[in-house]
Amino acid sequence: MHPAQDKDGGEGRVQNIIVADESAQIRLTFWNEDVDRIKDLQEGDVVSVTHAYAKEGFRGGVEVHLGRRAEIEINPKGSPLEQLDLSDLSVESRSQAAGLVRIREIDESNEGKSVEVSGIVMGATQASPVYPACPSCRKKVEEEGGRFTCSVCGDVKEPEYRMLYKITVDDGSGSIRATLFGETGEELLGMTAEEAHELITKSGNNLEPLERNSDRILGKYVSVRGRVSKFRDSMEIAASGLAFPDLVEVSKRERERIDELIR
């Protein structure tokens, strides 16, 4: 366990562990009070996690993060993993990490590739950060006369609201827009999509969630990971991961990067 900057900019705690079954291994990330729930965990214990979510890891690969709805059970009775032999499993990630790049280096040659950029959030799109979606297929639904219709599933009685908005990140070499989806967008905004929808409904202002939380978004130093795509004449990033890095670590990485370039 080590200290880290949480999404509110304050001091938090983070603990990463590696878990494995008979097929593979993966990293689990626990934050703040969830760290206490695994304080007595020992190597070889069985961990059951439900209602967590997967995202692209900050250093590449896939990680599992515990959100607000996650449940943890240590050594559940009757688990078939109790006798699992893990001797042949490596804890090293088998996936290729996305590279940290300067924004000015991103062009059409990066299209379709995963990258990581770090910089300051300079702005957010002036549009509602949530949209109504079909609870079955997750596609956006259309509203007309109080009725919601999905192009795939037909009439939708009660849509679910999902987060989707864009931010502009500047690293000093240039700026780029990044689209934040789902929990990634909720993490930066500091509220769920349902909470944002309720705020919009009460205020009558589609921008209320962004305006009310502008002080926690604008000027925030973030690292964004995702796939590069071209939108009209500009390159953008479809974010799959968001982190709030320690600036000391960022400076260290930049120093190593410069040393590598001048060798």
Mean pLDDT of the chain: 80
Instruction: Indicate whether 145 belongs to any domain.
Output: no
pLDDT for 82: 53
Q: For the segment 48-91, what is each residue's pLDDT rounded down to a tens digit?
A: 888 887 776 555 556 788 777 788 888 887 666 555 555 554 44
- Any domain includes 155: no
95 pLDDT more than 50 = no
Distances (CA, A) of 127 to 149, 178, 202, 208, 216: 22, 14, 17, 10, 18
Domain that holds residue 21: 2-74
Residues 60 and 108 in one domain: no
Mark whether 58 and 104 lie in a shared domain. no
pLDDT of residue 7: 47
pTM of the predicted model as reported, rounded to 2 decimal places: 0.60
DSSP 140: B
Beta bridge partners of 28: 17, 64
Question: Over pLDDT 70: what percentage of the chain?
Answer: 77
Strands (E), the chain: 2-5, 11-20, 25-31, 47-50, 53-56, 62-65, 71-74, 99-100, 114-124, 130-133, 142-144, 147-150, 154-156, 160-170, 175-181, 221-231, 234-243
Average pLDDT (146-172) is 91
Whether 55 and 171 map to the same domain: the answer is: no
Give residue-wise pLDDT tens across range 168-200.
Answer: 999 989 999 999 988 889 989 999 999 999 999
Confidence of residue 117 (pLDDT cuts 50, 70, 90): very high
Q: How many domains does the chain have?
A: 2
Supply the DSSP symbol for 9.
Answer: S
Task: Report the C-alpha gap between 25 and 212 in whole angstroms.
Answer: 41
The answer to whether residues 110 and 240 belong to one domain is: yes
Choose between 209 and 54: higher pLDDT: 209
Residue 203 domain-assigned (yes or no): yes
Q: Flag whether 250 is in a domain.
A: yes
